[in-house]
Amino acid sequence: MAETLGSLVDKLTICDLKLWHCHEKLFGADAAQKPPDELRELAAKSLSLQGQRERLVDEVNAWIARAVAEPEASTLTDPKNKLYGGFRRD
């Protein structure tokens, strides 16, 4: 499993936010005043984001199914080895 559950959920959240903002522009109160070209572009972006969202949901579901089937193989976190400050030489 290359992705962690957290990284997949993070990607899904970002995709949902982009889709939300796209729909605000596409279906909002001022949508009728937008030029047709801009509305077509927003509609295309919406379809693309919806497809991306579906793929991410499928990945999350597959990750959970693998974690249930093989609990020892699943990793909930990807440890980060951060070092803060400098190294002192005594």
Q: What is the per-residue pLDDT across 50-66, written as a single tens digit (0 to 9) for each?
A: 999 999 999 999 999 98
Q: Are 46 and 5 in contact (CB under 8 A)?
A: no
Residues 54 and 50: their CA atoms lie apart, in Å, by 6
Tell whether 65 is covered by a domain.
yes
Tell whether 78 is covered by a domain.
no
Tell whether 9 is covered by a domain.
yes
Residues 48 and 25: their CA atoms lie apart, in Å, by 15
Tell whether 58 is covered by a domain.
yes
**pTM of the complete model:** 0.75
Rg value, the chain, Cα: 20
Number of domains comprising the chain = 1
Tell whether 37 is covered by a domain.
yes
Q: What is the per-residue pLDDT across 11-28, written as a single tens digit (0 to 9) for each?
A: 999 999 999 999 999 999
Tell whether 34 is covered by a domain.
yes
Residues 63 and 80: their CA atoms lie apart, in Å, by 21
Tell whether 33 is covered by a domain.
yes
Host domain of residue 46:
5-70
Tell whether 80 is covered by a domain.
no
